[in-house]
Structure 1
């Protein structure tokens, strides 16, 4: 190739980036969330030229990362993050941790300075390679853009690999660190077009078809000699099925309940399990956090074994109660979700494959009406909770019940960590209404909640419609830049304002010297003023009628394509603490379990 025919560096960068994006699209990437910068220009230009990519610019990298996390959770697709060099990608770290721990697919595209500038004091240049350590599934630094078919084929393959690795069998973040030499903008004679992966000139750009990694049916891993006889013997006893945070398909949910019927085992469904808010079955139990505070019930219902699906349950009461009970962990991602160290068998299979396996190994459990006993206790707790709320001052329990009643079937709910998710766990109870409940229980942080809520709404797919947010006041304050994204929401963000980190009121730290500033972190921020600054509607409520009106106004605004805005729920924290303690004390003193 003559000098006249050699493309300039800017054109070389663009062609290389186009090949990368062809691979990403082949692996299922359709959304790119970028924070503007200079060094990432070739990647932005390539994404603009890829017709199957939708670009979303967000100024703050931390907010962008949590927005992308919400997009990926809602759409069940890998989402690409894009930023410039330097400290920019360090702001992704909290979301990368959550992505890794909760198994959400993200592709981290960090632009970088070329190798000859690293370690020489060049501007906006740090060591970006392997910045995220063990939290990424893979990390690649392919070097600067090169010209030629082999180089383009290699970078396309890397894009495809990154997308496929991010989505399974152990989903999570994949980091591609991409150095670019200047000039970053191609010259006017550059003829870069969407990359053609294979074939001659007649082969067009990517047509939208998508590749996936595939694996054999995981049930094949367990032939008769490999299935331990000890498990068959163990499962003849009385057991429970604990389902923590996960997003099961309808078929997987049906398989779990079929497994429960086969084993005569109740399904303890976490609010984030995907099993609590769907058509009810006799096996589903939701009030276990309150039920197990009753000493008589906790002793009478003690299981011989536990089968676990999903992550660690929200309920600390449940986790403590099943300690020292032999557990079977079923997880296709092969994670060691075993904080009590009680797992005696870890089975790498999805719920469908595992339940199919059980049907070939286990006979129907004939111990007795174990599920019925649990269901009767659940009904007793339902009556106790209903009677208690009828006579108690308005509190989070009333709000949760009212919110779940008002959410349309098919909607989503994003529940923040700390008190909101625990309130939902305590007060939601049984419901036939199909809802998708999202949360961040991978690392259980309070950061990025507003941005995630916006990402969930932007990435929602049928049958999920709008996604409402339920945040605490500290979660809300922690992600103020996320308010920039809320103008797009047609469902409200509900903020429980109790004046700070009130979860510590129920923990041993209460009463320590310096408790207020060092643990509770009281705050006097006015959500109304913040909403006004960001152009959002604000509605403040402190009782049932006020919430009903605020909800109706917010939903009406969303239907008019206006921002649904904020609903601030003002709560008396001390009254709330006394109310919850009164309920749990009442549960402890009741006779809940009938004698066998």
Structure 2
């Protein structure tokens, strides 16, 4: 009996020691945020994170919402965020967030607790195969055996260093460490001295050699009719636009987007269609992907001679298979090597077209001042935004032009409607600034439990309630199928959801009322099904008429 008791105490002590080593090494490598879902098997990891002096913790009862919260926090901070969950379905509930993080290159550290080998494949409660569950969606995966005094403690530290390096190197993304624990999970003696952190990591950035930048600049300089696409940060874009005399088309999630760029490019290319005067011969793209399907259709049809994509990673992000030159790394000197052009009719033409489109959109909403979704995006104000997927981000792409320097977020890795509220909470907690978030009713209902995360956060959550999936009205679907199988209308009253989670609630009827509502409020905007399609069609028809009257100089 005495021997058995000693063995149990050793197990508890070793569990606590390894857990503290693991968390301490993560903190050493700059991981400060730990998102935790309650569980028994993971209790040693939770205790270690809770007691780590430099760690900050966030606890949520729903693992799916927890995963997306961590995703949002990592988006706003740019640093890896750790997630701690227990075994079983708790692990499976992280899959949607891990998939999104994989495709959007967001560094998440997934720490899952697991049963020991003797409890695997024998019907033990809450036990399943966990290693390999995220196989296709993680940059690295590993497994820590049950803590053992015969294993050198530095093994834990070097494993963590290996994990963090894979999460942090381009292309960044999620990693998974499965941690086996035997009972008892931890004991009263939690003061065992642990070793210092073992490894230091230094990450450099790949800068393209000057010779390659010169060759790239010479190639681009051969073409007068080009466009610059920006889907993320691109410090060089503005200067390159001036030197090449090419317009900048900024994605709705790019911080480059403002009134100083061709931000109405989506509406413009829909309106001009196959107009040959506006056909580019060259494209320079910074970043990964664009929300606008019209842009991809346009480029696919035009097939420019040169399509150069510059990104920080080697992953292929080329859905139309049009890229002719792929550059991996930074090109800080590229503008210096581009020979500066004088004023260009090509750039002047795009500027005039963008101004014409801006005036056309403004004129339409001056005449139609009722509270509609497109009008809301046209008038939207703020500094930090989040746009949920489906119809919301498409309205933003068409009508939203922020002030210069605004931050805009979205979950465009896989563009799902799950976890959007939790992502908003993570972003608000990470950036520590007021966030204006827009979300559709279906995405809202999909992540209802994550409203608990918004308590005391400076978030104005605007829920657009058009009684279903209005985006499907843009598709040629037979009416007998539309409502029951695509629109899926509902009668939910979101005021009750606000009350349930202790949130302030407002239901404005005008744009001005909506803009005056403070952050920390759930705002329900009720709109008519089908209005989106009607307004998009009317705005586009008006623009086509204006463009046909546009006396375009010879480009």
Q: TM-score, normalised by structure 2?
A: 0.92
Matched, 1:218 2:212: no
Distance verdict in 2 for CA 1:216–1:578, change over 3 Å: closer
- C-alpha separation between the residues in 2 aligned to 1:189 and 1:580? 66
- C-alpha separation between the residues in 2 aligned to 1:483 and 1:190? 35
Deviation at 1:164, TM superposition (A): 2.8
Deviation at 1:523, TM superposition (A): 1.6
Q: Does the Cα contact within 8 Å between 1:41 and 1:184 map onto a contact in 2?
A: yes
- C-alpha separation between the residues in 2 aligned to 1:356 and 1:268? 21
- C-alpha separation between the residues in 1 aligned to 2:204 and 2:250? 28
SS of equivalent to 1:318? helix
Task: After superposing the two structures, state which structure 1 stretch, 568-577 or 87-96, moved more.
Answer: 568-577
Deviation at 1:183, TM superposition (A): 1.1
Distance verdict in 2 for CA 1:577–1:184, change over 3 Å: same
Q: Does the Cα contact within 8 Å between 1:29 and 1:77 map onto a contact in 2?
A: yes
SS of equivalent to 1:107? strand
Deviation at 1:67, TM superposition (A): 0.6
- C-alpha separation between the residues in 2 aligned to 1:572 and 1:593? 37
Task: After superposing the two structures, state which structure 1 stretch, 362-371 or 13-22, moved more.
Answer: 362-371
Cα deviation code 1:41-99 (max 9, x no counterpart): 11111112211111111000000000111111111111001100111110011110110
Cα deviation code 1:550-593 (max 9, x no counterpart): x1xx34xxxxxxxx221101111233432221111111222246
Residue 52 of structure 2 aligns with which residue? Answer: 50
- C-alpha separation between the residues in 1 aligned to 2:54 and 2:526? 44
Distance verdict in 2 for CA 1:335–1:291, change over 3 Å: same
Q: Does the Cα contact within 8 Å between 1:486 and 1:565 map onto a contact in 2?
A: no
Uncovered stretches (5+) of structure 2, i.e. residues with no partner = none
Q: Does the Cα contact within 8 Å between 1:298 and 1:321 map onto a contact in 2?
A: no
When the two chains are superposed, the root-mean-square deviation of aligned CA atoms in Å is 2.4
Distance verdict in 2 for CA 1:216–1:547, change over 3 Å: closer
- The size of the alignment, in residue pairs, is 545
SS of equivalent to 1:441? coil
Distance verdict in 2 for CA 1:367–1:382, change over 3 Å: closer
Q: Does the Cα contact within 8 Å between 1:273 and 1:310 map onto a contact in 2?
A: no
Cα deviation code 1:165-207 (max 9, x no counterpart): 2122211100001111111022x34532454236xxxxxxxxx
Q: Does the Cα contact within 8 Å between 2:377 and 2:400 map onto a contact in 1?
A: yes
Deviation at 1:511, TM superposition (A): 1.9
Matches within 5 A, 1:72-83: 72-83=74-85
Cα deviation code 1:94-148 (max 9, x no counterpart): 1101101111110000000112221111111100011012110001113221226
Q: Does the Cα contact within 8 Å between 2:223 and 2:282 map onto a contact in 1?
A: no
- C-alpha separation between the residues in 2 aligned to 1:535 and 1:182? 39
Task: After superposing the two structures, state which structure 1 stretch, 365-374 or 477-486, moved more.
Answer: 365-374
Q: Does the Cα contact within 8 Å between 1:415 and 1:469 map onto a contact in 2?
A: yes
Residue 155 of structure 2 aligns with which residue? Answer: 154
SS of equivalent to 1:33? strand
Distance verdict in 2 for CA 1:190–1:546, change over 3 Å: closer
User: 373, 384, 401: which is aligned to 2:378?
Assistant: 401
User: 125, 147, 151: which is aligned to 2:127?
Assistant: 125
Distance verdict in 2 for CA 1:434–1:192, change over 3 Å: same
Residue 117 of structure 2 aligns with which residue? Answer: 115
Deviation at 1:228, TM superposition (A): 6.0
- C-alpha separation between the residues in 2 aligned to 1:518 and 1:155? 51
- C-alpha separation between the residues in 1 aligned to 2:490 and 2:189? 58
Q: Does the Cα contact within 8 Å between 2:147 and 2:181 map onto a contact in 1?
A: yes
Residue 579 of structure 1 aligns with which residue? Answer: 535
Matches within 5 A, 1:397-436: 397-404=374-381, 407=382, 411-429=383-401, 431-436=402-407
Deviation at 1:337, TM superposition (A): 0.7
Cα deviation code 1:509-565 (max 9, x no counterpart): x3254221211121211101111111112111222243245x1xx34xxxxxxxx22
Residue 541 of structure 1 aligns with which residue? Answer: 508
Cα deviation code 1:265-296 (max 9, x no counterpart): 1110111011114xx54xx2101111112237
Distance verdict in 2 for CA 1:425–1:145, change over 3 Å: same
Uncovered stretches (5+) of structure 1, i.e. residues with no partner = 199-209, 556-563
- C-alpha separation between the residues in 2 aligned to 1:582 and 1:533? 40
Matched, 1:371 2:347: yes
Q: Does the Cα contact within 8 Å between 2:221 and 2:244 map onto a contact in 1?
A: no
Matched, 1:345 2:325: yes
Residue 532 of structure 1 aligns with which residue? Answer: 499
Matched, 1:595 2:553: yes
Task: After superposing the two structures, state which structure 1 stretch, 116-125 or 573-582, moved more.
Answer: 573-582
Deviation at 1:262, TM superposition (A): 2.3
